[in-house]
Amino acid sequence: MTAAGPVPPTGFASGAAATAHVVRPGGLPDAVHLGGDDGHHLQRVRRIRVGEAVTVADGAGRWRRYDVAEVGRGTLELVAAGAEHLEPALTPALTVACAVGKGTKPDAVVADLTELGVDRIVFFRSARSVVRWDGPREAAAAERFAKVAREAAGQCRRARLPEIVVGVAVGDLPGFGTVVVGSPGGVAPVDLGGPGPLGWCAVVGAEGGLAPDEEAVLAASPGAGAVAVGPHVLRTETAAVAVAAALVGRRRPAGSGPSGSG
């Protein structure tokens, strides 16, 4: 057996003194070359200069601060300016499950939920969804959502990318956590009880709402409840963000004390 390496200090990249943030799956070596979309954005759009600082994350929670050593046409050369850090996980875990919407609406949902720190984003098939994705379209959507999430994580300086799941059935949703359906008839977020060990799975239906049989399946799952974020009927994409924001306020970094219970 080999001895485990030192545990990196914890902290959020958003608190580091840096001009920009990049999520780049892989390791965090002492020297990093940024090209492609990241290099173009930082050099051509953000106009990052030599001597400025950039934080780089691996998408799995680790991040590191770098100094810009050299700038080329659409490229940056970075050198490490500190040790790796580990972004604390937030508890309870939070999944947001949203019925498939039209056009670019799902992309906006992914971006907003990523910025809010949601752990998992699920798009499920609903009887009242207007949009129907087949296998190839689901795969293309998942690839597009991954790109949207990475860009949003860079904007909000997040080190952990959300897991994105596309094309599950309503009956599968309780497997992601304690079901909380967004509904004007639900309780206020502050009155919602704590979730089970898998955290919350907040469910938002299509524009026409969940079908009665879908509601019955979710209501029958252990600990299921409903939460209201206002008295009005919201669009799917608005409701997903509103419910997530309400539950995010109940979360705390792991090990920092009680969370999810008021």
Each residue's pLDDT tens digit, 179-217: 999 988 899 998 999 999 999 999 998 877 889 999 999
Task: Specify the pLDDT at position 2.
Answer: 46
Read off the pLDDT band of 103 (50, 70, 90).
low
Contact of 91 with 259, CB cutoff 8 Å: yes
Read off the pLDDT band of 229 (50, 70, 90).
confident
Using alpha carbons, select from 196, 184, 202, 208 the residue that is nearest to residue 261. Answer: 196
Tokens, residue 109: 């949902």
Query: CATH for 90-253, among 3.40.1280.10, 3.30.2310.20, 2.40.10.480, 3.60.21.10?
Result: 3.40.1280.10
What is the pTM assigned to this prediction?
Answer: 0.91
Task: Specify the pLDDT at position 258.
Answer: 57
Each residue's pLDDT tens digit, 149-164: 999 999 999 999 999 9
* 96 vs 141 pLDDT, higher one: 96
Judge whether residue 1 has pLDDT over 80: no
Each residue's pLDDT tens digit, 33-67: 999 999 999 999 999 999 999 999 999 999 999 99
Average pLDDT over residues 226-242: 88
Q: Which helix (H) or strand (E) holds 247?
A: helix 236-248
What own/partner pairs with CB < 8 Å and gap ≥ 24 does 42-45 have?
42/76, 43/71, 43/72, 43/73, 43/74, 43/75, 43/76, 44/74
Burial status of residue 83 (CB atoms within 10 A of its CB: 0-12, 13-18, 19 or more): exposed
Torsion sign, CA atoms 177, 183, 188, 191: negative
Locate CATH 3.40.1280.10 in the chain: 90-253
Domain 13-86 listed as CATH 2.100.10.30: no
Residue with structure tokens 């207007």? 130
Could you tell me how far CA 32 lies from the centroid of its own chain? 25
Give dist(CA 234, CA 238) in Å, integer. 6
Residue with structure tokens 């300086």? 157
Task: Specify the pLDDT at position 146.
Answer: 96
Locate CATH 2.40.240.20 in the chain: 13-86
